[in-house]
Amino acid sequence: MNTQRKLDKVRPPRVQITYDVELGDAVEKKELPLVIGVIGQFAEQSIPMRERRFMHVDKDNFNAVMEGLSPSLELQVESALPGQSGFINVDLQFKSMADFNPENLAKQIEPLHHLLEVRSKLSDLKGRALSNEKLRDRLTEILAEHVDKLPPVNEEAETAATENTADDVTPENSNIPENNNAQ
């Protein structure tokens, strides 16, 4: 039994190439397997082209092949983080498809990894505060006591807070569009 017939029983392929073969008066459909060859430099090893061998890659062994090749990406990117200027050295290692997930990419970049941990801890605290009334009340007290000591989120927020107060907000000095169609 050929490999394609076995695959049809296990999992049908997404691409099926067939052609008609005329045998006397009967027409029989023959199926060709889809085979794709990719040539590239996916690892740091510089094996001469003539010595390279094909690797069989499918969804079952994809992660094992990725781990064996261990592709990586090294580059410098301009920092977009507040309070940090210049460039960040980025060295990404890929051992499975899961490594391409944005969260896993952030874990490999030190400043983003730290921010991700802080975000996780804040999310955990939020969950606990929602389910624990005493904790929620205590956090509210602490924030009320220290609100004047907290730095502003950014300069734009500080400017907006000092310029606009609840008394003098009008359509001219707010970001709220005026509704001219009101009756």
d(CA 144, CA 137): 11
Which distant-in-sequence residues (6+ apart) come within 8 Å of 3 by Cβ?
Answer: 33
pLDDT value of residue 24: 84
pLDDT value of residue 25: 86
Q: Where are the domains of the chain?
A: 109-149
pLDDT value of residue 124: 92
Chunked mean pLDDT (size 10), the chain, 183 residues: 63 77 87 80 76 85 88 89 86 92 93 91 90 89 83 62 49 43 41
Contact 97, 71 (CB under 8 A): no
How much helix, strand and coil, in percent to the nearest 5, is found in the chain?
40, 15, 45
Conformation bin of residue 44: beta by default, left when phi > 0, alpha when psi is -120 to 50: alpha
pLDDT value of residue 8: 61
pLDDT value of residue 72: 87
- Which helix (DSSP H) or strand (DSSP E) does residue 46 occupy? none
User: Which residue type sits at 135?
Assistant: L
Name the residue among 39, 61, 65, 37 with its Cα closest to residue 52. Answer: 39
Question: How many Å is the maximal CA-CA distance in the chain?
Answer: 93
3-class SS of residue 77: strand
**Which pTM value belongs to this model?**
0.54
d(CA 114, CA 126): 18
pLDDT value of residue 116: 92
